[in-house]
Chains A and B, each alone.
Chain A
Amino acid sequence: MNELQQTAKDLLEKNAVAVVIGYGMGSEPSLRRAVFVRKPDQAPQLIFDESCRQNLAFYVLKPEVKALGKAAVVARTPTLRTLLQLATENQITDESVVALPVGNGSVQPLTNFAAIEQYLANVPRGFTAQEQQELAAIKSKTLADRWAFWKSELSRCIKCYACRAACPMCYCSKCIVEVNQPQWVPVPSDMLGNLEWNVIRAMHLAGRCISCGSCADACPAHIRIDLLNQLLATEAMQQFGAEPGLSVRKDYALATFKPTDKEEFIR
C-alpha cells in the first residue's frame, strides 16, 4: 500500500472520516474516475497519477456524498485552492473536510483551512507555460479574429451544462439559466443562447475561478471555456488583485466594492 492508500486507511480506521473521495481505475486503463472509499480495506482502490484530473471538491458539496458523512478528499493543488475559495464563500466550514494533498511529496492530512493555507504558501502558482502560451495566442488575435474563434468554439455548445456540473464553484442552487422571470438566458443552444450562457458563467466565475480546467475537461464538445475563465482570471487579478483560493478571506473580487476599483473592464 502506498502512502495515500495508507493515510486513507488510517483515517477510516480511526473513524476520523466516513468517506475518502479519491481517484480509482476507470473503464479504460488510461482513465481514472472518482471513487468513494468507505471501508479501510477498500483503500487500495485509491490511485494518484498524472491522469487524475477531475476537481474532486465538487463532491464535497454534492448532497448524496455529503449524506455519507465527513469526507477526506484527495486534493491536487487546484482542489486545495477550491476548498479555500469555497470556505471564503461560506460553502464549507472549517474542519468539516480533510484534504489529502497529492502531487507534491508527502500526503499529510490537512484537517483545517489554516493547514491548507500554509501548505499552499509553498506551492508555486500561476499559469503553466502552456497555459500562458495559449492565453497569449488568444490575446494577440485581432478583435475580429477573436470573435471568429469564440463563435466557432461556442457554436458546438449543446447546452448540456457539463461545464457547470463539473465546476465546484458552480454551486448556485438556482443557476441564472434556470431563472425565467425574466428569462435571462435563451434556453435553446442557438448562437445567442450559447454566447450568453458561456459569457455569463465566465463573468460569474471572474475572480473566483481557480483555473482547475475541469470545465474544459468535462465539455463533450471540447470547447476551450477554460481559456475564457483564465482570461478573466488574469483580468480580475490585474484589476482587483484578486487571486482566489490562497486564503480564507471575505473580500474576493465579485463580492467586494472599493471606491478605488478601476472600471477599465467596462468598455
Chain B
Amino acid sequence: MNESKIILKKSLGEWFNMMTAGGYRVVGPVGQDGQIDFEPVTSPDAVRFDHVQTNNSGKWVMFPRYEAMMRFRLSGKEVQAGEIPPQAPPTVLFGAHPCDAASLATLNAVFTWDSSDAYFEPKLANTTIIGLSCTKGDSYCFCTSVGGGPGDTRGSDVLLTPLDGEKFLAEILTEKGKSVVGLAPQLFSAADGTSKEAALAKIPARFNHRDVTAKLPSLFPKEDVWKEQSLRCLGCGACAYVCPTCSCFDIQDERDRYTGVRIRCWDSCGFGLFTLHASNHNPRHKQSERWRQRVMHKFSYQPERLNVLGCVGCGRCSRSCPVDMNLGEHVAALAEIKV
C-alpha cells in the first residue's frame, strides 16, 4: 500500500478541483499569522503551508463544537421528539500535521472503545486525511516525546512532505488515500526513492512518555506537586478546546417556547462545574485536582485503559494558555521527580 509519488505545488489546484468535483468538502488551514484555523477551502491558494500550528485543531470535522442530536416540538407538556440523523459529508482534511493525524486514534478510542457513536464514527469514516509533514516546529512542539514525529505517517491517508518550494513527496498510505490520489492520478509522478527525512523539522524529545505513564500513578498522591504546577492556572477551558484529542462533552437541551434541540457540545475538565454533584459535593473541588486529572487522563488513564496516549505533542494547549501553563514543560518536570 505504502507508495510514494511526487506532486508539484502548482498541481494542487487541479487536485483540489477534482476533490471538490468528486463531492468532497476540503478543509484546510487558512488565515493570517496568529489566527490560522481549519476551514472549508476551495483552492490551495488560500491554504497555509508555512505555519507551525493552527490555533484550533481540526477535530471539529469529526467532533464539532456542538451538534444537534434530537429535535423537539413542545406544546405545554405535549412533546414530539425525533432523532436528528448524524451528518457526515465526505471531507478531506488537508494539511493536518502528523500530530493532528495521530490524534484521530485517540478520538476514535474514546468514542468507540465500548460502544459505537452514531455521530462520531460516520464522520471519521467519511474523512480522508491529507497530512502535511512539518518542516519547522517551535519550542512548544513535543511530538517526538509522545511517540510521534514531524514526518510520522500515523493517521494520515496521504502524507505530503514539502521537498522544496515546488514539490511534495506524497506517501499514499491507505485505501482512502489511494481514492483521493486516484481522482487525479496524472498529477502524481514517480518518486524514484526520494527521501523526506532531510526536509523534516528537528524536534528534540523532552521526556519518555512510557516512563511518565509508568510513574504517574505514584505521583497522584503528591498534592504539593500538582498544586505548585497549577497555582497560576485560571481554570478556563482554552487548553481543552484547542486540543486535538480532548473529547469530553456535555449533553444539553436548548429550547424556546415551542421547539427544542438536544445537543452535545465540548466541555472541559478544567471547569469546576464539570464534576459537581447535585448535592454540591465535588470529587474534583480544587483547580489542582482538575489539573492533575488533565495530566493523568492523557498520560496515565488513557494509555492504561484505552491503549492510546491522550496527547500528541502539538503544543496548542500551551500556546493558547493565557497564563503559560506549558504541558510539555510540566510533564517533563513530573518525569524528573524521584519517587
Contacts and interface: CB of A to CB of B under 8 A. Distances in A.
Given A64-B286, A218-B236, A190 B66 contact: yes
Nearest to A19: B231
A214 to B, nearest CB: 8
B232 A59 contact: yes
A158 B239 CA distance: 11
A138 interface: no
Interface string B306-339: 0000000000001010111010010000000000
B61 to A, nearest CB: 15
A254 interface: no
Interface string A1-41: 00000000000000000000000001110011111100000
Interface residues of B, number: 39
Interface residues of A, number: 38
Most-contacted residue by chain B among A26, A33, A165 (CB, 10 A): A165
A81 interface: no
Nearest to B55: A220
Nearest to B237: A160
Contacts of B254: 183, 186-188
B205 interface: no
Interface string B213-251: 000000000000001001110111110111000000010
B263 A188 contact: yes
A169 to B, nearest CB: 14
Given A36-B232, A187-B250, A220-B55, A158 B241 contact: yes
Contacts of B240: 160
Contacts of B324: 26-27, 31-33
A189 B267 CA distance: 11
B288 interface: yes
Interface string A151-182: 00000101111101110000000000010000
B252 interface: yes
A217 B322 contact: yes
A158 B139 contact: no
B252 A188 contact: yes
Interface in A74-120: none
Contacts of A218: 234, 236, 238, 322
A161 B324 CA distance: 16
B284 to A, nearest CB: 13
Interface string A209-220: 000001001101
A22 to B, nearest CB: 11
Given A160-B237, A161-B237, A221 B322 contact: no
Contacts of A250: none
Contacts of B35: 156, 221-222
Contacts of B287: 62, 64
Interface string A182-216: 01001111100000000000000000000000100
Nearest to A215: B322
B237 to A, nearest CB: 4
A162 B322 contact: yes
Contact of B232 (A31, A33, A156, A161): A33
Given A64-B287, A183-B254, A34 B241 contact: no
B326 A165 contact: no
Nearest to B329: A27
A129 B33 CA distance: 25
Contact of B323 (A33, A156, A158, A183): A33
Interface in A215-238: 217-218, 220-222
A76 B12 CA distance: 51
B234 A165 contact: yes
Interface in B90-110: none
A54 interface: yes
B273 interface: yes
A222 B320 CA distance: 10
Q: Which of B237, B240, B250, B322 has the most CB of A within 10 A?
A: B322
Contacts of A160: 236-238, 240-241, 268
A159 B323 CA distance: 17
Contact of A158 (B65, B235, B288): B65
B322 A159 contact: no
A183 B66 CA distance: 17
Contact of A28 (B139, B230, B252, B266): B139
Interface in B18-68: 34-35, 55-56, 65-66
Contact of A64 (B238, B266, B288): B288
Contacts of B231: 34, 36, 59, 64-65
28 contacts: A27-B140, A27-B329, A28-B139, A33-B232, A33-B323, A34-B231, A34-B323, A36-B232, A64-B227, A156-B35, A158-B56, A158-B242, A158-B266, A159-B237, A159-B241, A160-B237, A160-B238, A160-B268, A162-B238, A165-B235, A166-B322, A186-B254, A188-B65, A188-B254, A218-B234, A218-B236, A220-B241, A220-B320
| Closest 9 pairs (CB-CB, A-B) | A188-B66, A218-B322, A165-B236, A165-B234, A220-B320, A160-B237, A162-B236, A33-B324, A188-B265
Given A158-B65, A160-B238, A166-B234, 18 more contacts: A27-B329, A34-B231, A35-B232, A64-B227, A156-B35, A158-B242, A159-B266, A164-B236, A166-B236, A178-B273, A187-B252, A188-B65, A188-B66, A188-B252, A188-B265, A190-B65, A218-B238, A220-B55
